[in-house]
């Protein structure tokens, strides 16, 4: 059994030839993925779109589940080997319908890259009654991976998009839906991003014996549609944009932001590091619980804690009715 001590050891810093400005194309160069198959959520905008383009250029067939299939078709025009299927990540019934379609097709899947998500939304609930950010960012992806688990080929990888936003909060197991504490959109986002990291820990612990590994990634600061719930005044205050709407030049481009997820999906040096949290196509180690500087990199222990991962797994099984790799 994997322990938190094991996870801390795996999280020891790992330098690579890549870095902050590495692009998706640079990470994927030299990887022949012809004949392989991937699912990429959020695959028709921002980081997801760049991920799909890079995988398609490497010869993969990429399935893009989309809430707005018409918008996906428009964004992916001219990208070879893409299949678009309807799915709403915030509705577990919709996710179940999508995964049933995948199982009916019975085609092996080599990568699942969970890019899609929402950030700092107003307080709300998913169709099944979960906090919008937790339900969409975590439970939707748990149900997706759980539903296609029988199709995951030996050697396949699942990449869960987390964020340094996980610094803002562990999973609030006693009040996930903010029923007894005031709702804070950034605490809710932090909880969801911690859950994304813990999902990789829990999944890898259960799937590694079958040659399947999972990793979480922080893509970096990038201006995408993820900021759509934030007023311009807040974006300026945080120095994410200037008064004219220009993005902070320190931010990554979408092509740069997509690099770490693709590195996690393909890097051979990660085979012995299942479940780790990656950034800048590398690993930067564990930071203290009171560490507040998000620019330094690193992961908080609450996001790789095995006991928390197991508790989250049990909650997710109860919420979705799925328990992948339990047999």
The set of catalytic residues is 189
- Cα–Cα distance, 199 to 315 (Å, whole number): 11
Q: Using alpha carbons, select from 73, 160, 44, 60 the residue that is nearest to residue 110.
A: 60
- Cα–Cα distance, 71 to 310 (Å, whole number): 37
- Torsion region of 119: left, alpha or beta (phi above 0 gives left; psi -120 to 50 gives alpha): beta
- Cα–Cα distance, 304 to 323 (Å, whole number): 20
CA angle 189, 217, 82 (to 5 degrees): 100
- Cα–Cα distance, 189 to 48 (Å, whole number): 19
Q: Three-class SS of residue 275? A: coil
Dump strand ranges (E) for the chain: 37-41, 61-66, 82-86, 109-114, 152-161, 213-218, 277-279, 286-287, 299-300
Tokens of 248: 């902070």
Strand partners, 65: 85
Tokens of 243: 């008064």
Integer CA distances (angstroms), 246 to 14, 222, 236, in order: 33, 12, 10
3-state SS of 20-49 is: CCCCHHHHHCCCCCCCCEEEEECCCCHHHH
């Amino acid at each position: 059994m994997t322990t938190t001590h094991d996870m801390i050891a795996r999280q020891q810093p790992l330098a690579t030839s890549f870095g902050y400005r590495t692009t998706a194309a640079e990470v994927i160069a030299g990887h022949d993925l012809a004949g392989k198959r991937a699912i990429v959520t959020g695959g028709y905008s921002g980081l997801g779109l760049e991920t799909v383009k890079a995988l398609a250029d490497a010869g993969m067939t990429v399935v893009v589940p989309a809430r707005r299939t018409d918008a996906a078709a428009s964004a992916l025009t001219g990208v070879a080997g893409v299949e678009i299927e309807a799915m709403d990540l915030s509705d577990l019934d919709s996710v179940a319908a999508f995964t049933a379609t995948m199982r009916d097709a019975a085609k092996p899947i080599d990568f699942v890259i969970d890019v899609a998500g929402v950030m700092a939304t107003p307080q709300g609930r998913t169709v099944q009654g979960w906090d919008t950010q937790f339900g969409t960012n975590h439970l939707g992806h748990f149900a997706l991976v759980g539903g296609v688990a029988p199709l995951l080929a030996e050697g396949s990888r699942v990449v869960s998009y987390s964020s340094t936003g996980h610094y803002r909060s562990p999973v609030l197991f006693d009040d996930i839906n903010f029923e007894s504490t005031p709702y804070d959109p950034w605490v809710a986002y932090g909880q969801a991003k911690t859950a994304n990291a813990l999902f990789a820990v829990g999944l890898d612990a259960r799937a590694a014996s079958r040659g399947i590994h999972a990793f979480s990634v922080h893509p970096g600061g990038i201006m995408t549609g993820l900021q759509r719930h934030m007023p311009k005044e807040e974006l300026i205050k945080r120095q994410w944009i200037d008064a004219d709407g220009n993005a902070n030049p320190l931010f990554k481009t979408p092509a740069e932001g997509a690099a770490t997820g693709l590195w996690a999906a393909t890097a051979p040096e990660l085979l012995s590091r299942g479940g780790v949290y990656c950034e800048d196509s590398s690993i930067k180690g564990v930071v203290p619980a009171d560490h507040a500087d998000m620019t330094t990199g690193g992961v908080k222990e609450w996001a790789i804690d095995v006991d928390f991962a197991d508790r989250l797994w049990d909650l997710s099984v109860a919420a979705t009715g799925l328990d992948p790799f339990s047999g």
